[in-house]
Amino acid sequence: MNSNEPLAFRMRPKTLEEYVGQEHVIGKDKILYRTIKADRLSSIILFGPPGCGKTSLARVISETTKYKFYKINAVTSGVAEIKKVIEETKNFMLNPTGKSILFIDEIHRFNKLQQDALLPFVENGTVILIGATTENPYFEVNKALISRSMVIKLNPLTEEDIYKVLKNALERKDGLGEYSIKIEDETLKKIAAISNGDVRTALNGLEVATLTTPIAEDGYIHLTDEVIKNSIQNRKAIFDKNGEEHYDNISAFIKSMRGSDPDAAVFYLARAINGGEDPLFLARRIVICASEDVGMANPNALVVANSAMQAIHMIGMPEARILLSEAAVYVATSKKSNASYLAINKALEDVQNKDTGEIPMHIRNAPVAKMKELGYSEGYLYPHDFPGHYVEQQYLPDKMLGTKYYDFDEN
């Protein structure tokens, strides 16, 4: 085997039969499987987390297609490389089919100009585009390219899928089959669990463990739980604080607090903290939730949330995690009412779209004596002069009389 190539690279599948996982898109009855087998592929954009098999799927296509296959990386390539591919594709001497497949890894890193350079050739069929990205293509890729491509979401591999790949790596000669390794199935399953759906992380960890563990007296390399733990370290978190995962996680965090589930709220809070989210950003979300979703059902929630945010300013991490947890749990376990939130929305809609009339004269301000002669403040009843500090009088304009904004319930 080529020792310069990482195990994860050597273990990439060459055929659809060797490909593990993603049955929802490349199962034998699925359209992608059929189009690859028939070599009738149209442009596709693959998106999913790192290590889920995007590049491996492109490699399978490269091994099965009759068309010339090109691969470029959006980080290191530009318009010049795209033009070169187009020129070679159109050159009948170099490419009699007049068509090619272009795989662009990390396509989201192409700017608008670079993506626009591809568009006419994807549209006329000169190039079959395969784009791979860890970002949501609907946010990052040119809409014109999206409309001409089939967008396929790849999921993190299951622990069972990764276990199969690891077993295969231990047996294949181009994997680790040349080594005398002893490892329990339960230990392999722990590697699969720690990798969190990223097969590359799992294979890299297994390779590091193998290459850094001395051969024992019995002639075997013994890969124990402890060895694996020191080779992979912490469970890999699928989280990108600048990508789609950021928005998905914060949405789940807020909805868990709104839904009165403190366990889920703390779980998504932990994911955010572990992923490197700004604690003040998280604190602001809790403050908003305390106001929007708890509201008048427990006004003290806003006090707690705001106090936590102010305290985080002073102490920072790692202690800020305690304040965030306390505030999130308090908001999640409070009774809920969005009556104030709905009230201001309805009022704003009326103010922006209706003729709401004039402010009644008796509740207008009259800082100058002459204004009272014009009717300003005349007839105003001061509530504190009445029993219970309350007196009935008109506050809404004539045109808005009877309008109900704050519609409270038992909470």
Q: What is the pLDDT of residues 285-337, one digit of tens each?
A: 999 999 999 999 999 999 999 999 999 988 888 899 999 999 999 999 999 99
Bridge partners of 132?
Answer: 46, 105
Q: How far is CA 156 from CA 68, 237, 357, 359, 360, in A?
A: 30, 12, 58, 60, 63
For the chain, which ranges sit under pLDDT 70? Answer: 1-3, 233-244
- pLDDT confidence of residue 237: 54
**Domain 159-232 sits in CATH 1.10.8.60:** yes
The tokens for 109 are 């890193």
Q: Strand pairing of 221-222 and 181-182? A: parallel
The fourth-level CATH superfamily of domain 22-153 is P-loop containing nucleotide triphosphate hydrolases (3.40.50.300)
Torsion, Cα of 246, 239, 157, 138 (10° steps): 30
Q: How far apart are CA 174 and CA 162, in angstroms?
A: 18
List the domain boundaries for the chain.
Answer: 22-153, 159-232, 244-333
Residue pointed to by tokens 């795209």: 82
- pLDDT confidence of residue 384: 93
Q: Model pTM greater than 0.75?
A: no
- Closest C-alpha among 134, 110, 173 to residue 47: 134
How many residues can be counted in the chain? 411
Phi and psi of 69, rounded to 5°?
-115, 125
- SS3 category, 371: helix
- pLDDT confidence of residue 244: 64
As its CATH architecture, domain 244-333 has: Up-down Bundle (1.20)
Q: How far apart are CA 224 and CA 231, in angstroms?
A: 11
